[in-house]
Structure 1
Amino acid sequence: MTVFVYMLRCADSSYYVGSTRKSLEERVAEHNSGLLGGYTRSRGPVVLVWSQDFEQITDAIAMERRVKGWRREKKEALIRGDLSALADLASRRQR
C-alpha cells in the first residue's frame, strides 16, 4: 500500500504538511472543499507543492513529522528539490 506525504501551499502562503493513503488529487480536493476542517479550512484554496510516496506507513509518518518541524526556508528548499541547500540548512542548525 502506498502512503503519500505531501505539502500544500495555502492561500495565505503558509505551508501544510500531511499524509494520506488516498490519491493526492482526492486529498487536495478534500482540503479545498473544507471537508477536512483543521488548519487548511480557513486558508484555502491550497495547492500541492511537494509529495513523496512510501511503501511503509511508519516511514511516511516519520517523514511527515520531520518536515513539519522544519523552518520555512528548509521546506522551500525541499519544494525546489535543492538538496545542497537542504544539507546546508541542516548543518547550520547544528552550529
Structure 2
Amino acid sequence: MKIYYVYILKCSDNTYYIGFTSNLEKRFFEHQQGKHIESYTYKRQPLELVFCCEFTVAGFAIDTEKQIKKWSKAKKEALINDEYEKLPNLAKKKFK
C-alpha cells in the first residue's frame, strides 16, 4: 500500500509551506537543497519540518493539503502544536 504525506515546513521568515508528497524524506531533502528555484521555500531556508500526516488515498491527501493552505496562521499553528480543541473556534469568522 502506498503512503502519501501532507506536511508543513516552517520557513526562516516564520511563514509556513504546506505540501504533498509520496516520499517525505526525499521531498524535504529537495526543499533543503533548494532543488527548485521557483519554490516558495527556496529563499526561506533554513526549513524545519513541523507537521506531517499520512494518507493511503492520494485524493484525500491532496484535498487536505488544499484545505490547510486556506487556513489562518493561528489555525495552522494549533494543528502543529496538537491543539485540536482550538481548531473549531479558529475556523469561525470574526465579525467586528
TM-score, normalised to structure 1, is 0.92
State, as a whole percentage, how many aligned pairs show the same letter. Answer: 39
Closer/same/farther in 2, CA of residues 94 and 61 from structure 1, 3 Å limit: farther
Structure that is richer in helix per residue: 1
Q: CA RMSD in A?
A: 1.3
Q: Distance in 1 between matches of 2:36 and 2:3?
A: 21
TM-score by length of 2: 0.91
- How many residue pairs end up in the alignment? 93
For residues 61 and 25 of structure 1, the distance between their equivalents in structure 2, rounded to whole angstroms, comes to: 18
For 1:94 and 1:41, how far apart are their aligned partners in 2?
Answer: 34
Gaps of 5+ in 2: none
Which residue pairs with 1:26 in the alignment? 26
| Residue 59 (structure 1) aligned with residue 60 (structure 2) | yes
Q: Give secondary structure in 1 for the equivalent of 2:5.
A: strand
CA deviations over 1:24-80 (Å, ceiling 9, x no partner)? 222211101001331000101110000000000000000000000001000000001
